[in-house]
Amino acid sequence: MTRQRRPALGSAPVTLSRAKSDVSNEPEAELAITDKTRIGAKIRHARLLRELSLKELALKVGCSVSTLSKIEGEKANPSLTMLHKIGAALGSNLAELFSGDEEFGVITKANDRPVIETDQVRRGTGILLERLVPYSSGYLLQGNVHIIEPGGGSEDGLKHEGEELGYIIEGQLELTVGGQSYIAEAGDSFFFRSNLPHSYRNPGESVTRVVWVNTPPTF
């Protein structure tokens, strides 16, 4: 798990507009967790606890046995969407898969929050997830600051149970929910039900920061 100094936050005019529905025909970006969290070992441990073979879990997830084996062996980085599918297949979620020994107090200082570093395999820019709520079972909320590089974004069509809300601290966010795309800027907020297919990206030329909260912690 990496800890990084947060760049200074900025501000921008408050506007909210609807983007064109055919926003981009670029290849879908794949986000991958770096090996700081030893996620592969945690997936393997969870699989063995449930007495599932690699083949059985791969069938549930919808990936190849080879891919799953590489993920467990820390030889391949799973995308965030793949991690979500694995968590669902294991009857778990990302909060539990990422749970560690960190202890959060009532107040967490700005530079003490853990950061999950992600990497966009196909576009070369990525996302940092600065943790606001501990990743552990027993919590009703999951919250992160999404720090998105220009051109960075999530995969298309993610959906799960729950509700999500966010507040754009800095930059621009192109949010697609249920097939409709919107542009939000600093000061804007959003809310949607998580069972609608959703994705997001930074269409601007500067870093975007979003406080993103969802419940239950399924992602």
Instruction: Tell me the CATH number at 93.
Output: 1.10.260.40
Residue-level pLDDT at 83: 77
Same domain, 23 and 42: no
92 lies in the same domain as 158: no
- Write down which residue in 81, 97, 113 finishes a domain: 97
Identify whether residues 53 and 161 lie together within a single domain. Answer: no
Domain check: are 26 and 134 in the same one? yes
Is residue 5 included in any domain, yes or no? no
pTM of the model: 0.64
43 with 127, same domain: the answer is: no
Domain shared by 23 and 40, yes or no = no
- pLDDT tens series, the chain, 219 aa: 444 444 444 433 333 333 333 333 333 333 344 434 577 888 888 899 999 999 999 999 999 999 999 989 888 777 767 877 888 898 876 666 666 555 667 888 888 887 776 544 333 357 788 888 876 667 788 899 999 999 888 877 788 889 999 999 999 999 999 999 999 999 999 999 999 999 999 999 999 999 999 998 765
pLDDT of residue 102: 58
Closest CA to 212 of 179, 54, 180, 158: 158
Identify the residue whose tokens are 């063995």: 48
Q: What is the pLDDT of residue 99?
A: 63
- Residue 86 belongs to what domain range? 36-97
Total tally of structural domains belonging to the chain: 2
121 and 32 Cβ atoms separated by less than 8 Å:
yes
Mark whether 144 and 49 lie in a shared domain: no
* Tokens matching residue 206: 């500067």
Verify that 108 and 40 share a domain, yes or no: no
One domain for residues 21 and 55: no
The answer to whether 145 and 209 have CB atoms below 8 angstroms apart is yes
Q: For residue 7, is it within any domain?
A: no
- The counts of H helices and E strands in the chain are 5, 11
- Report the alpha-carbon distance of residue 199 to residue 135 in Å, rounded: 22
Same-domain status, 146 and 181 = yes
Report if residue 91 sits inside a domain: yes
